[in-house]
Amino acid sequence: MVQPELIRAAQSGDRDALITLLREIEQYVYRTAYYILNNEQDALDASQEALIRIYTKIQSYEEKAQFKTWVQRIVTNICIDKFRRMKPTVSIEEHNLTFLGNESVEREVLSSHAAHDIREAIKQLPEHHRAVVVLRYLQDFSYNEIAESLNLPLNTVKSYLFRARQQLQTMLQDYEKGGVRG
């Protein structure tokens, strides 16, 4: 949690404060980018772009919003733009093939999905559903914070989140079945 004093100092032109602030938030920015883009290099690019944008736009932040949601709005916007530009959609069928084999055995044993499977499943979600899930689970945001970050109505956030979980659950179940069959 970034201290309000630090934010105010940064906004008043204290460059060192601004740099310190960026250092405090960089891991959160990166984490969101990483889970939305599901690719390390893209995540690095997007999060650096986001940090630069925060640096240049710090004056435009207003305290009526939470700083962390303001930051997440910037990074998710960049990621969604980036994602739209680069993302060729991959069908779930194609993915089923990649989950045959040893991993399914492990899953049965551990009675748990590999983190890899979950990331793959998240990747299949529509972009806003994905952003909601990431903010909910990787940033530990509440419905309201997610709504603030994504500039969406609260009910929309809830419905996105519920639908996303249901889809994820279905996808993972499919993976399991695929594994059993294999």
Nearer to another protein (CB atom), residue 88 or residue 122: 122
**Segment lying near another protein (by CB under 8 A), choices 2-10, 17-25, 97-105, 124-132:** 17-25
Is 102 an interacting residue with respect to another protein (CB under 8 A)? no
Residues 150-179 that bind another protein (CB under 8 A): 158, 161-162, 165-166, 168-169, 172-173
Torsion of CA 94, 158, 134, 165, to 10 degrees: -40
**Segment lying near another protein (by CB under 8 A), choices 4-12, 18-26, 86-94, 98-106:** 18-26
State how far Cα 66 lies from the chain centre.
Answer: 18
Nearer to another protein (CB atom), residue 21 or residue 95: 21
Rounded distance between C-alpha atoms, residue 157 and residue 117, angstroms: 24
DSSP assignment of 47-110 equals: HHHHHHHHHHHGGG--TTS-HHHHHHHHHHHHHHHHHHHH-----HHHHHHHT-SHHHHHHHHH
Q: 118, 131, 132, 152: which one contacts another protein (CB under 8 A)?
A: 118
Is 23 an interacting residue with respect to another protein (CB under 8 A)? yes
